[in-house]
Amino acid sequence: MKASQKDDIVKVHYTGKLDNGQVFDTSSNREPLEFKIGEGKLIPGFENGVIGMNLNDSKTVKIPFAEAYGEKKPELMIEVDRKQLPEELKPEVGMELVSKSQEGQEQIVKIAEVKDETVVVDANHPLAGENLTFEIELVEIK
């Protein structure tokens, strides 16, 4: 039986967890994830974890944050004047907002701190700075 390798198109079922055991994503109850190994569309640690698996193999892959979404970047903690927010909005820590760049690109940011005149939003990826664990089952190799 041929093990999965770079440039194979594979399908996997997975469950992703944080260090504290909290599940942040899973493919259970939906179609398996299909991707081409080495194409770079997934985090490197996940793709590398699938290399060498045989059909119907299951394994647990621990991915340090450096091979996942990187570390939290302090420069992506941005203080915004509350006057820039919609008047009816009552900002709360943890609330997600959609920010638009000058080029029109949208990004989801999370309120990290609420002050009298400003709010601090976190534009880091929600999983930045997190070590991840994936339980992976290889269900197809094309």
What average pLDDT does this structure show over 7-19? Answer: 97
61 close to 78: Cβ distance less than 8 angstroms: no
Q: How many domains does the structure of the chain reveal?
A: 2
The pLDDT of residue 109 is above 90: yes
Domain with residue 50: its CATH number is 3.10.50.40
The pLDDT of residue 1 is above 80: no
Residues 86 and 54 in one domain: no
* Structural domain harbouring 47: 9-70+127-141
Least confident of 30-34, 53-57, 102-106: 102-106
Output the pLDDT for position 101.
79
- pTM of the model as a whole: 0.81
Q: What is each CA distance from 139 to 12, 90, 106, 118, in whole angstroms?
A: 5, 46, 35, 49
